[in-house]
Structure 1
């Protein structure tokens, strides 16, 4: 049955909307929802899913990633605009990540040019890897170090190692783990100029496996932007706001996050 509200002439609707200071789009949306109460009911259910996802991610995810999570987890096909509109109504806004300004100081002698040259796309798996080390804390300020290698083809973290020491074995174990999982790979691997990546041991191992090495320029952290971005996401989603009393608790949380991220 056709609604009597639609019987108004278009000009009358425009005039009425102007009098009450409501856009015509908002009026028609209200009219549509009024005639289809199931839309409101579905939105209420969706709001609960959004609220759950938002707080599950500690408020760090924006509407794009929340849409991806909802659609994948529940096999839905909600569009970005709908999710964004509901999140705004619920006043759930993503926390802005803190900028990272520090860069690695170059050490050693085995430098390589920046062959990656900020071309962060790859056409197939194991074509381009990026790697880096970041430090974390647990307990009463004790330090731990996380080394990881990321495949630029699909963004997957293919290997990672956690250690209480920032030394050569940390990086060497990470790259050995990567080649154990991908024995035929011959990627271009990009890193900064940290002492582990300019060591003779690292240079010898990569040469032995036919790897092309690439390194960021001094003070140019953006040359390794994909790894910097990953560290930022990891710390916002799985590190900041959490308390790790022991090294084992920290390692367990990293294992969970890597599984979740991949």
Structure 2
């Protein structure tokens, strides 16, 4: 996922069984659709090969985004995303029996949860609003379109 450090909102995500260039490219392309023309944020990532290959770098340059990676074995730049994974695991994964759930069913369940997280899950530090509600309350619109992330 791409997590906005402003409010912890998952801006874009793609779910698959293994990370690859097509997956991260489509995730980035979806995230860019939510930016205004003059917005060029920093994109923090881990050191995965799909974030270092020429196609990713070309996309980042095309969109005028800044790449940010920490040195090997040091993950502060990607901490927002790692923390987000921890929240997801505690909320929906741990403590459940997934043995009779197919990969496709799990992907649908996770996708629905991510939309709920972005649009309905309230956060104390956002004034007990969801990220979408919080942004609307301070005049920052967000194109919440399920087609972007499906």
Query: TM-score, with normalisation over the residues of structure 1?
Result: 0.42
Query: Is 2:19 the partner of 1:166?
Result: yes
- Structure showing greater relative contact order (alpha-carbon pairs closer than 8 Å, 6 or more residues apart): 2
Q: Deviations over 1:54-106 (max 9, x none)?
A: xxxxxxxxxxxxxxxxxxxxxxxxxxxxxxxxxxxxxxxxxxxxxxxxxxxxx
Q: Distance in 1 between matches of 2:8 and 2:25?
A: 21
Q: Provide the alpha-carbon RMSD of the alignment.
A: 1.5
In the alignment, structure 1 residue 176 sits paired with structure 2 residue 32: no
1:129-156: per-residue Cα shift (whole Å, max 9, x none)? xxxxxxxxxxxxxxxxxxx000111110
Q: 1:192, 1:217 within 8 Å by CA — same for their partners in 2?
A: no
Change (3 A) 1:201 1:192: same
Following superposition, which runs of at least 4 residues in structure 1 exceed 4 angstroms of deviation?
none
Shift of 1:255: 1.8
Asked if the contact 1:238–1:253 (Cα under 8 Å) also holds between the matched residues in 2, the reply is no
- Cα separation, 2, equivalents of 1:225 and 1:257: 21
User: Residue 13 of structure 1 aligns with which residue?
Assistant: none
Unpaired runs of 5+ residues, structure 2, are 119-150
C-alpha displacement at 1:188, in angstroms?
A: 0.8
- Deviation, 1:165, is 3.1
Structure 1: how far apart are the matches of 2:36 and 2:22?
Answer: 20
List runs of 5+ in structure 1 lacking aligned partners: 1-147
Q: Hey, what's the Cα distance between the residues in 1 that align with 2:14 and 2:112?
A: 13
Aligned residues: 115
Residue 190 of structure 1 aligns to a residue whose secondary structure is strand
CA distance, structure 1, for counterparts of residue 102 and residue 17 of structure 2:
12
> What's 1:115 paired with?
none
Shift, 1:261, TM fit: 1.6
Partner of 2:48: 194
Q: Distance in 2 between matches of 1:205 and 1:225?
A: 23
CA distance in 1, matches of 2:18, 2:77: 25
Higher-Rg structure is 1
| 1:150 aligned residue | 3
Displacement of 1:183 in angstroms is 5.3
- In 2, distance between residues paired with 1:173 and 1:241? 32
**TM-score, L = length of structure 2:** 0.71
Secondary structure of residue in 1 paired with 2:114:
helix
For the 8 Å contact 2:12–2:30, the answer to whether it is kept is yes
Contact 2:20-2:50 within 8 A present in 1 as well: yes
| Contact 1:206–1:213 (8 Å) recurs in 2 | yes
DSSP-derived class of the 1:223 partner: helix
